[in-house]
């Protein structure tokens, strides 16, 4: 079954626990951490993740859009994240970092911006639990899906199959009822959706509709 991870970036930041309760069937809650440096936007950090992890039963999928993830990512596991994603473009030692996240007990994931190729990272894939292919340039919700990312999703799915890996393949950015089928067809199996879920009148219904569309 495809996994749907609603992004709280499109939720009401003053009522995060209540917003989480509106998507009880979410596989993971996607938490976008931004630092004004790696991306031109600022959201939240460790104290909020720590509180949110206590306030919901949905596991947290923390997407770190920050500089120096080598220094900060392990602390997100301690704060209660079940999955921690760092950016390949920001990590100094991605292999060591992935191993450290796993050793601390969370799933380790690495993200690629739309213009970053997957091939230079082929050797690292067995050390990851998930690869995130950004389908917009990171920083903001509500951007248009970039079709040019579809060939990379396909190539990554082929790499995963060739190496016989269990790796999940996540997409994030502009995922909606209009774009999710194309991503699923290309090989993605974990879908982040912000505006398509929290911008909908009934977020729970939006989650199940997206999951059905991805499963077709
Ligand atoms: C963007 C974030 C996304 C964002 C997606 O940089 O990483 O997780 O919330 O928002 P939508 O689904 O609205 O494109
Ligand atoms: Zn994200």
Domains recognised in the chain with CATH numbers: 3-215 (3.20.20.70)
Ramachandran assignment for 42, one of left (phi > 0), alpha (psi -120 to 50 degrees), beta (any other):
beta
Compute the distance from residue 97 Cα to the ligand 1 centre, in Å: 24
DSSP three-state, residue 156: helix
CB of 145 closer than 8 Å to CB of 176: yes
- C-beta of 192 in contact with ligand 1 (< 6 A): yes
Compute the distance from residue 196 Cα to the ligand 1 centre, in Å: 10
Per-residue pLDDT band for 102 (boundaries 50, 70, 90) equals very high
pLDDT value of position 64:
99
The continuous run of DSSP H or E covering 153 comes out as helix 150-162
What are phi and psi for residue 90, nearest 5 degrees? Answer: -105, -20
Output the CA angle 48-50-56, nearest 5 degrees.
95
pLDDT value of position 53:
98
The model's pLDDT over 17-40, given as tens digits with 9 standing for 90+, comes to 999 999 999 999 999 999 999 999
Q: What gap in Å lies between CA 63 and CA 73, rounded to an integer?
A: 10
Q: What value does the mean pLDDT of the chain take?
A: 98
% of residues, the chain, pLDDT over 70: 100
CB of 114 closer than 8 Å to CB of 137: yes
Per-residue pLDDT band for 140 (boundaries 50, 70, 90) equals very high
Per-residue pLDDT band for 169 (boundaries 50, 70, 90) equals very high
């Amino acid at each position: 079954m495809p996994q749907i991870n609603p992004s709280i970036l499109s939720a009401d930041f003053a009522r995060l626990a209540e917003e989480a309760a509106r998507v009880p069937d979410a596989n993971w809650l996607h938490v976008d951490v931004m630092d004004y440096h790696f991306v031109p936007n600022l959201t939240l950090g460790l104290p909020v993740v720590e509180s949110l992890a206590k306030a919901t039963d949905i596991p947290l999928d923390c997407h770190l859009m920050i500089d120096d993830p080598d220094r900060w990512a392990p602390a997100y596991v301690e704060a209660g994240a079940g999955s921690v994603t760092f950016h390949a473009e920001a990590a100094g030692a991605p292999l060591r970092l992935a191993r450290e996240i796993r050793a601390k007990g969370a799933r380790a994931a690495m993200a690629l911006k739309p213009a970053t190729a997957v091939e230079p990272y082929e050797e690292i894939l067995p050390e990851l639990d998930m690869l995130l292919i950004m389908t917009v340039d990171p920083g903001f919700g509500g951007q248009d899906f970039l079709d040019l990312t579809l060939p990379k999703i396909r190539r990554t799915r082929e790499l995963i199959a060739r190496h016989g890996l269990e790796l999940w393949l996540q997409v994030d950015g502009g995922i909606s009822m209009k774009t999710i089928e194309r991503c699923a067809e290309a090989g993605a199996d974990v879908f982040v959706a912000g505006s398509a879920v929290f911008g909908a009148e009934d977020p729970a219904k939006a989650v199940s509709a997206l999951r059905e569309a991805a499963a077709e």
